[in-house]
């Protein structure tokens, strides 16, 4: 027997063609599409505007490979880390990050990661596969529902900063953003979405060619090639010169200023000379800087810098006219902070009072 196709892999026109072949009215396709992408249902029986016969026809021919929350933990600072179970049994993680002004979903784009960044727990995992667009979309829906159920606050922002390198899953990431931002989908503003990359120059150029409307962040962490290659092997094939050219092209095409993410590691990249190198690199591009506290990982070789050095580093950037924001880590006590995602959830969903 042929395996049923996941209906969310079909485009609207393909769904119309299928309904027509079944002797059904083609407007049914638009109804189904709305149930899938605007109302986010994961069961054909929940598509109540369709007749029982049509729902049965869909059930016979298709599946909806939905994502579910298998496990989650809640931090002392209200951050919630989720383990999302995929249809094939793989697990990725996503985080709900509440602050006074924002409610942010941090979502994953791959199962594992292939980039082996030295400071990142996900980088120690094998990359098993890319996520489909619908699996990325589902993470947003689940975290949005979590925000509204737990904190009675709507989701305001989405960051592609979870597991995986988004630009190595380019097609599915852009398709997921289309579903999240489209009026036929969740209708969120692309200006509320940030995609973070470790630096894939040719794909940054493609983002410019595609004139994307969302924000772009670059995980920089060192502004000279020797240091950056030591902690991020991707720099060997995507040097700072190549990245600067790609980012300038991106800015020229989109008018969007990139954000450099810079984790400060003690005795590695936290000196004033490191800050000056970052100033110089910022001046080569149109960029602002997020300084990020380091979050230790198991068997990690780096340490968090001191508060004094962090303040001096940020101060040097500001004195040189660089827009800088110091981002304090959240969810460290449950391994939910930046760089810590590695499928280590322990709590059961029922313990926190919500879930599927």
* Annotated domain spans of the chain: 10-63, 68-352
CA atoms within 13 A on the CB side of 330: 20
State how far the Cα of 167 lies from the Cα of 153, in Å rounded to an integer: 30
Q: Among 18-22, 29-33, 118-122, 133-137, where is mean pLDDT lowest? A: 118-122
State how far the Cα of 232 lies from the Cα of 237, in Å rounded to an integer: 10
* pLDDT value of position 299: 60
Structure tokens at 156: 């305001």
Q: Is this structure's pTM higher than 0.85?
A: yes
State how far the Cα of 284 lies from the Cα of 267, in Å rounded to an integer: 25
Cβ-contact 266, 305 below 8 angstroms: yes
Percent of the chain, pLDDT > 70?
90
State how far the Cα of 348 lies from the Cα of 300, in Å rounded to an integer: 27
- The neighbouring-strand residues paired with 264 are 293
Q: Is 321 exposed, middle or buried (0-12, 13-18, 19+ CB in 10 A)?
A: exposed
* Counts of helices then strands in the chain (DSSP H, E): 10, 14
Q: Is 8 exposed, middle or buried (0-12, 13-18, 19+ CB in 10 A)?
A: buried
Q: For domain 10-63, give the fold.
A: DNA polymerase; domain 1 (1.10.150)
Q: Catalytic positions, please? A: 93, 338
Q: Among 72-76, 208-212, 313-317, 336-340, where is mean pLDDT lowest? A: 336-340
Report the chain's mean pLDDT, rounded to a whole number.
91
Confidence of residue 189 (pLDDT cuts 50, 70, 90): very high
Q: For domain 68-352, give the fold.
A: TIM Barrel (3.20.20)
pLDDT at 302 over 80: yes
């Amino acid at each position: 027997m042929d395996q049923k196709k996941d209906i969310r892999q079909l485009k609207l026109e393909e769904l119309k063609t299928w309904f027509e072949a079944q002797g059904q009215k083609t407007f049914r396709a638009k109804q189904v599409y709305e149930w899938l992408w605007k109302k986010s249902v994961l069961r054909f029986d929940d598509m109540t505007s369709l007749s029982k016969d049509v729902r049965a026809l869909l059930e016979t021919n298709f599946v909806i490979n939905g994502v579910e929350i298998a496990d989650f933990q809640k931090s002392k600072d209200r951050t919630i880390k989720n383990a999302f179970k995929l249809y094939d049994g793989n697990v990725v993680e996503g985080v709900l990050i509440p602050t006074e002004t924002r409610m942010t979903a941090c979502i994953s784009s791959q199962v594992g990661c292939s980039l082996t960044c030295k400071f990142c727990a996900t980088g120690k995992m094998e990359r098993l596969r890319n996520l489909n667009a619908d699996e990325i979309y589902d993470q947003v829906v689940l975290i949005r529902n979590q925000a509204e159920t737990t904190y009675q606050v709507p989701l305001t922002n989405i960051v592609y900063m979870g597991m995986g390198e988004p630009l190595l899953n380019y097609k599915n990431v852009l398709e997921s953003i289309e579903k999240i931002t489209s009026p036929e989908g969740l209708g969120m503003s692309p200006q509320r979405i940030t995609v973070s990359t470790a630096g894939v120059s040719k794909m940054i150029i493609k983002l410019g060619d595609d004139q994307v409307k969302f924000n772009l962040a670059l995980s920089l962490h060192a502004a000279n090639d020797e240091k950056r290659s030591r902690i991020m092997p991707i720099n060997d094939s995507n040097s700072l010169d190549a990245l600067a050219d790609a980012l300038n092209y991106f800015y020229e095409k989109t008018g969007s200023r990139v954000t450099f993410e810079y984790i400060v590691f003690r005795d590695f990249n936290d000196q004033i000379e490191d800050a000056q190198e970052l100033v110089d690199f910022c001046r080569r591009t149109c960029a602002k800087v997020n300084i990020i506290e380091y979050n230790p990982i198991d068997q990690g070789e780096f340490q968090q810098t001191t508060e004094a050095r962090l303040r001096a580093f940020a101060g040097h950037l500001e004195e040189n006219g660089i827009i800088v924001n110091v981002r304090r880590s959240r969810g460290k006590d449950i391994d939910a902070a930046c760089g810590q995602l590695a499928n280590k959830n322990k709590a059961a969903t029922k313990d926190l009072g919500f879930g599927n």
